[in-house]
Amino acid sequence: MQLIKGPLAHIYNLSLNSGVFPNVWKTAKVKPLNKKGEKYDMRNYRPILIIPVFAKLLERLMYNRIISFLYEDFVRSSKWFQERQIH
């Protein structure tokens, strides 16, 4: 893990700063998963996407940043709105 920690952090920072998600991580494998019933009936299957773990981590980083930004913006807007009502 120590070997990939630095390069991976660099890739994540580049991606977050540029707003570009690496193309290599945009591909996923689709695997059929049997829900229940006859294995020969295609209606009993649902697709499962196998996404690269590094892509999943980057998605989580992006999600956390977006949620944090939206929350801070909401708090700022709420405070501004509350101050405007006082006057």
Mean pLDDT for back-to-back runs of 10 residues, the chain (87 residues): 87 90 89 91 92 92 90 75 59
Q: How far apart are CA 5 and CA 7, in angstroms?
A: 6
22 contacts 11 by C-beta, under 8 angstroms:
yes
Burial (CB count within 10 angstroms: exposed 0-12, middle 13-18, buried 19+), residue 40:
exposed
pLDDT of residue 86: 57
pLDDT of residue 82: 64
Residue-wise DSSP of 25-65: GG--EEEEEE-SS-TT-GGGEEEEEE--HHHHHHHHHHHHH
